[in-house]
């Protein structure tokens, strides 16, 4: 395993982070336990979860993933071996079953306290805001379209002050953002610098061979401002395993169970995936390992969040850490990207 530190901290994390959002839906608790055991044995010390997991989010399964991790901590005694990240759910109809008061002081305190209880821990290493409160283009929406009906008012300073109280209480150590855009990222950084408030040290956004949008303005912000990317969906909902193109997906595959998750399944995305598959096979790699190796080695990357529904998938994904793509492979990848840029933003 390779390691780095969370930006501007001495917190050591593996370059591969264990994603957990299938536990409690596609995976049982026992399977989640086995994945955590394997990941830790292979040197992965960074786990990411969220209060709304598993996905798709429902009132019936709310927070089941955090409960599974808490039960594993209780059974294994391994809390001190893990850097733990979780998130407060953003507002909207999708999460109305959780709460409806956004990132208010009451919401943040409620979310943190309940996550701590479920996770059976006294502290969270990295606490993240799952998506912005304001209307903006997230989750596959290509362009920003301003809405004059957006009720949100600028509260970056207020949110950071509320997080500051929680940090000072010892319940969380560091803070980060997720599904955020350039403007929101810089506003958080501006407020923390001007007012000596907690600094957002990571941003968790989608990034993969089919969605390299982060390489625009966000990459410059990440590098110049030292806010590290935690890449989610590095395999594009499993599309970049090649299993859907080959027709070998299992009955438990995400897109077979939840066909509405079609972000990476459009015509251009499929065409690009076929070309990436050929590059991988021509160079004696699986598409999964090539896709993950590409993500892990980007200069703005802090950690690559991988997920799996089987131990075999998980081991293959973790082992991608040992692959360094050659200049020739990178050139071939970039040629596809130039011809079919970001087919699934």
Q: In the predicted model, is pLDDT for residue 257 greater than 60?
A: no
pLDDT (tens digit, 9 = 90+) per residue, 70-81?
A: 999 999 999 999
Count of domains forming the chain: 1
Q: How far apart are CA 152 and CA 150, in angstroms?
A: 6
Q: In the predicted model, is pLDDT for residue 309 greater than 90?
A: yes
Asked if residues 12 and 45 have their Cβ atoms less than 8 Å apart, the reply is yes
Residue 269 in any domain: the answer is no
Residue 245 in any domain: the answer is no
260 pLDDT tier (thresholds 50, 70, 90): low
What the block records as the tokens of 327 is 């200049």
Span 280-307, average pLDDT: 97
Reported pTM: 0.95
* DSSP-assigned letter for residue 16: E
CA terminus-to-terminus distance, the chain: 30
231 pLDDT tier (thresholds 50, 70, 90): very high
Q: What is the pLDDT of residue 118?
A: 98
Q: Which of 3, 53, 144, 264 is catalytic?
A: 53
Residue 22 in any domain: the answer is yes
Residue 182 in any domain: the answer is yes
pLDDT (tens digit, 9 = 90+) per residue, 145-167?
A: 999 999 999 999 999 999 999 99
Could you list the residue range(s) of the whole structural domain that residue 15 is in?
Answer: 3-235+289-324
Q: How far apart are CA 54 and CA 180, in angstroms?
A: 21
Residue 259 in any domain: the answer is no
Q: In the predicted model, is pLDDT for residue 253 greater than 80?
A: no
Span 19-28, average pLDDT: 96
pLDDT (tens digit, 9 = 90+) per residue, 167-221?
A: 999 999 999 999 999 999 999 999 999 999 999 999 999 999 999 999 999 999 9
Q: Residue 191: which H helix or E strand, with range?
A: helix 182-195
Residue 200 in any domain: the answer is yes
Q: How far apart are CA 109 and CA 88, in angstroms?
A: 10
Q: What is the pLDDT of residue 262?
A: 73
What the block records as the tokens of 136 is 């903006």
CATH number for 224: 3.20.20.100
Rg of the Cα atoms in the chain: 19
344 pLDDT tier (thresholds 50, 70, 90): very high
Q: What is the pLDDT of residue 249?
A: 64
Q: In the predicted model, is pLDDT for residue 225 greater than 90?
A: yes
Asked if residues 65 and 54 have their Cβ atoms less than 8 Å apart, the reply is yes
What the block records as the tokens of 82 is 């893990």
SS3 at position 312: helix
Q: Angle CA(8)–CA(11)–CA(12) in degrees, nearest 5?
A: 115
Exposed (0-12), middle (13-18) or buried (19+): which is 201, by Cβ within 10 Å? buried
Q: Say whether 53 is catalytic.
A: yes
265 pLDDT tier (thresholds 50, 70, 90): confident
Average pLDDT, the chain: 95
What the block records as the tokens of 241 is 């395993």
Residue 298 in any domain: the answer is yes
- In this structure, are strands 228-232 and 301-306 parallel, antiparallel, or unpaired? parallel
Residue 282 in any domain: the answer is no
Q: Give the residue from 14, 21, 39, 134 showing the smallest Cα distance to 87.
A: 21
pLDDT (tens digit, 9 = 90+) per residue, 97-112?
A: 999 999 999 999 999 9
């Amino acid at each position: 395993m390779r390691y780095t530190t969370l930006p501007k901290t001495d917190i050591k994390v593996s370059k591969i982070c264990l994603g957990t959002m299938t536990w409690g839906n596609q995976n049982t608790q026992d399977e989640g336990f086995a994945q955590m055991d394997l990941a830790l044995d292979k040197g992965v010390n960074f786990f990411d979860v969220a209060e709304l997991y598993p996905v798709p989010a429902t009132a019936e399964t709310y927070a089941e993933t955090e409960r599974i991790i808490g039960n594993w901590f209780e059974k294994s005694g391994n809390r001190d071996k893990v850097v733990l990240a979780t998130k407060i759910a953003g507002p909207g109809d999708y999460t109305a079953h959780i709460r409806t008061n956004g990132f208010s002081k009451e919401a943040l305190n409620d979310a943190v306290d309940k996550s701590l209880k479920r996770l059976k821990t006294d502290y969270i290493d990295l606490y993240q805001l799952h998506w912005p409160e304001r209307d903006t283009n997230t989750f596959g929406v290509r362009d920003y379209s301003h809405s004059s009906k957006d009720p949100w008012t600028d509260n970056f300073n207020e949110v950071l002050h509320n997080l500051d109280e929680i940090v000072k209480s010892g319940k969380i150590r560091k803070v980060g953002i997720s599904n955020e855009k350039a403007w929101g990222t810089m506003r958080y950084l501006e407020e923390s610098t001007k007012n000596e408030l907690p600094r957002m040290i990571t941003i968790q956004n989608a990034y993969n061979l089919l969605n390299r949008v982060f390489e625009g303005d966000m990459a410059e912000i990440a590098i110049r401002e030292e806010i590290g990317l935690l890449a989610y969906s590095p395999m594009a909902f499993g599309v970049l395993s090649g299993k859907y193109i080959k027709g070998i997906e299992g009955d438990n595959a995400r897109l077979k169970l939840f066909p509405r998750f079609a972000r990476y399944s459009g015509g251009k995305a499929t065409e690009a995936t076929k070309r990436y598959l050929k590059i991988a096979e021509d160079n004696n790699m699986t598409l999964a390992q090539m896709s993950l190796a590409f993500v892990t080695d980007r200069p703005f990357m802090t950690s690559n969040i991988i997920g799996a529904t089987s131990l075999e998938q998980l081991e293959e994904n973790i082992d991608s850490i040992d692959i360094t793509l050659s200049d020739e492979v990178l050139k071939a990848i970039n040629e596809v990207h130039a011809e079919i840029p970001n087919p699934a933003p």
